[in-house]
């Protein structure tokens, strides 16, 4: 069984902001797999289904970004999910808009949601799919930037990256992380 968690902030106020790229990817993946993300337990909205023969849980933590680890830990514990079957999708300001990057392990890289997940589950050894949102303009604070909505060409690039991230998560499940990295990290 795989747990695929997209990071973001709950409530309409944050819908489709740069920081909610993980939530947007989960919505796309849910549509691809015909999974309804409509259960509310484990500090998450989540749904269960199949990718091929593999059981999958898609989750959007409802703890707000900085406490995402509480939801991930709760789901992993309840469903007895190994760290090798955890995939986290989240925004990354170090990548250009439209780019994605898959890794099998690594640090949080300054991302507070990832810091909390690593702290709560006690390891950095899990697959992560980072979605590029780019850097803020000189005049803008990072927090204001990530909590704002992209527009125009930037919006199209980030939406395309969210779709690529959903496809990459499917590839990790079907063919393994190395295959997905070779295909999507180019």
Q: Would you state the pLDDT for residue 123?
A: 97
> Which tokens sit at 24?
């947007």
Q: Would you state the pLDDT for residue 186?
A: 72
User: What is the number of other CB atoms lying within 10 angstroms of the CB of residue 80?
Assistant: 8
Which CATH superfamily groups domain 2-184?
Peptidyl-tRNA hydrolase (3.40.50.1470)
Mean pLDDT by 10 residues, the chain (186 residues): 98 97 98 97 97 96 97 98 97 96 95 97 98 95 96 97 98 97 92
Q: Is this structure's pTM higher than 0.95?
A: yes
Q: Would you state the pLDDT for residue 86?
A: 98
Catalytic residues: 19
The residues with which 54 forms a beta bridge, in sequence order, are 51
Domains of the chain, residue spans:
2-184
d(CA 108, CA 47): 26
């Amino acid at each position: 069984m795989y747990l695929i968690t997209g990071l973001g902030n709950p409530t309409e106020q944050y819908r489709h902001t740069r920081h909610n790229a993980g939530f947007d990817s989960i919505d796309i993946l849910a549509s691809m797999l015909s999974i309804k993300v409509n259960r509310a337990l484990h500090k998450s909205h989540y749904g269960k289904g199949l990718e091929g023969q593999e059981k999958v849980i898609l989750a959007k933590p409802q703890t707000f970004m900085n406490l995402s680890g509480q939801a991930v830990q709760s789901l992993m514990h309840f469903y007895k999910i190994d760290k090798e079957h955890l995939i986290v999708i989240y925004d990354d300001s170090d990548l250009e808009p439209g780019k994605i990057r898959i890794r099998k392990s690594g640090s949080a890289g300054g991302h507070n949601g990832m810091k909390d997940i690593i702290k709560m589950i006690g390891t950095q050894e899990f697959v992560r799919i980072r979605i590029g949102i780019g850097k803020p303009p000189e005049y803008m604070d990072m927090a204001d930037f990530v909590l704002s909505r992209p527009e125009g060409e930037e919006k199209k690039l980030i939406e395309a990256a969210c779709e690529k991230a959903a496809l990459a998560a499917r590839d990790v499940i079907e063919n393994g992380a190395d295959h997905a990295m070779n295909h999507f990290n180019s």
